[in-house]
A = this chain, B = another copy of it.
Amino acid sequence: MSEHENNLGTCPVDRGLMRVGDRWSMLVLRDIERGLTRYEQLRTSLGIAPNILSRRLSALTDAGLIEKSRYSERPPRDEYLLTDAGRDFLPILMAIGAWGRKYNGGGALSRHLDAETGEVVRPVVIDANSGAPIGSRPLRFEYPE
């Protein structure tokens, strides 16, 4: 049938990675979440080359995860803010962070605290239906059609 029998087209993981599937994009989102919303802040925080940062910012904008927003008229200056889609991606970054802490976590690392309780946040992916952590119950695939 098809040239190479892949399921990329029907795989939601691939659909997600099409939009944010690179390191810099994710780190940009993380930094924006931390309040580093301006070009120079991002550039110095990440140590990224300006042309690369520009490209990532417009890719993320095109992908609908961030948007430019004017914060000063004179001088005219913009900052980059998360859209709903961008904010919805943050839990994934926290899950990646939890994994990174567990498997690559030498030395002191930054972390999130619950602003109210002050407790350290421990992100876990669960199935909203069963409430059970993903991986604790056997799953099965279903392909379209």
Report which A residues bind B (CB closer than 8 A): 3-19, 21-23, 26-27, 30, 34, 44-47, 64, 85, 87-105, 107-117, 119-130, 133-135, 137-145
Contact = CB atoms under 8 A, between A and B. Distances in A.
B92 A95 contact: yes
A145 B108 CA distance: 8
Given A17-B23, A95-B91, A100-B13, A8 B46 contact: yes
13 contacts: A3-B47, A11-B30, A12-B101, A85-B103, A112-B142, A117-B129, A121-B127, A122-B127, A123-B125, A123-B127, A123-B134, A124-B127, A124-B128
Contacts of A122: 127-129
Nearest to A44: B4
A46 B91 CA distance: 27
Contacts of A99: 16, 88-89, 92
